[in-house]
Amino acid sequence: MILFPNAKINLGLHVVRKRPDGYHDIETLFYPVPELCDILELVHADRFEMHCHNAEISGENLCEKAWRLMAERFGIPPVAIHLYKKIPMGAGLGGGSADAAFTLTGLNDLFGLQLPKVELAGLAAQLGSDCAFFVYNRPMLATGRGEVLTPVDFTLDRPLRIFPQPVFVSTREAYAGIPPHAPEHRIESVLKLPVERWDGLLVNDFETTVFARHPELQVAKQALYDDGAAYAAMSGSGSALFAIY
């Protein structure tokens, strides 16, 4: 079985408050980008194997965690997983979360478990805050840690380009020193406006901390506007930028 886990971008991202469990409540709109994908293959095997190509991944991969979760919960047999990375890592594009979610949905199909999406999304949320989004893989307003999802009737009808940057930004680094606050403008309201009016209203709070540590990213974002972008922003916790024309 061959699958194509896709990237996402964040249209607006507010860090609303810090939670007692140490996580943060956020508000963002996850938007799928099917044009940028990893390649994931699941194959029946006598013992579990994980092979990652085109990227160095230390420790247990999220795909492996997804298989172990399904094996413990439903007793599925071993598989060999081959993952070819094309979505940049540490870029805020959700590649690792997509790989994990597609592993869950792929195993569900491969072994005929017939689990509904809502149950798969619950399992995915155990693997990462934005994993559940990729089970549904449609525009979603995300709150809580990113796992509370509400479908949004929104389609981006403008050309979109993603610009990976040669900078790795960890989520921990992005959150460091960020001041949580209530959003000044609601994301759903801003998205109803013409794209040309989004700048300054559709805000990614992570840009404050990430740009302070990597000022070259702010320079690159301004260059996108200078090149004619109607709107440009960093995706997620960075470092990839995207532009809408």
Read off the CATH number of the domain in which 237 is found.
3.30.70.890
Q: What is the mean pLDDT of the chain?
A: 93
**Among 38, 85, 99, 130, which one carries the catalytic annotation?**
130
Q: What are the φ and ψ backbone dihedral angles of 243, each rounded to 5 degrees? A: -135, 140
Q: Are residues 14 and 133 in the same domain?
A: yes
Would you say residue 182 has pLDDT above 70? Answer: yes
Question: 151, 172, 195 — which closes off a domain?
Answer: 151
Cα torsion 154, 156, 161, 162 to 10°: value is 0
pTM of the entire structure?
0.92
Q: Are residues 143 and 171 in the same domain?
A: no
Tell me the pLDDT tens digit for each residue of 116-166. 999 999 999 999 889 999 999 999 999 998 889 999 999 999 999 999 999
Q: Are residues 191 and 233 in the same domain?
A: yes
Question: Does the annotation mark 192 as catalytic?
Answer: no
pLDDT on residue 145: 85
Q: Could you tell me the two tokens for 47?
A: 């013992």
Q: Are residues 189 and 107 in the same domain?
A: no
**Among 8, 38, 85, 205, which one carries the catalytic annotation?**
8
Q: Are residues 138 and 237 in the same domain?
A: no
Question: 95, 128, 151 — which closes off a domain?
Answer: 151
Q: Are residues 61 and 127 in the same domain?
A: yes
Using CA atoms, how far apart are residues 179 and 62, in angstroms rounded to an integer? Answer: 29
Q: Which segment of 86-90, 178-182, 188-192 scores lowest on mean pLDDT?
A: 178-182
Q: Are residues 232 and 197 in the same domain?
A: yes
Mean per-residue pLDDT, 22-32: 91
Domain that holds residue 209: 160-244
Using CA atoms, how far apart are residues 36 and 174, in angstroms rounded to an integer? Answer: 23
Determine whether 100 is exposed, middle or buried from the number of CB atoms within 10 Å of its CB (0-12, 13-18, 19+): buried
At CA 108, angle to CA 71 and CA 10, rounded to 5?
Answer: 105
Per the structure, how many domains does the chain have?
Answer: 2
Question: 87, 119, 151 — which closes off a domain?
Answer: 151
Question: Does the annotation mark 8 as catalytic?
Answer: yes
H-only helix segments in the chain? 62-74, 95-110, 117-125, 131-136, 171-175, 187-190, 206-213, 215-226
Q: Are residues 111 and 204 in the same domain?
A: no
Q: Are residues 194 and 96 in the same domain?
A: no
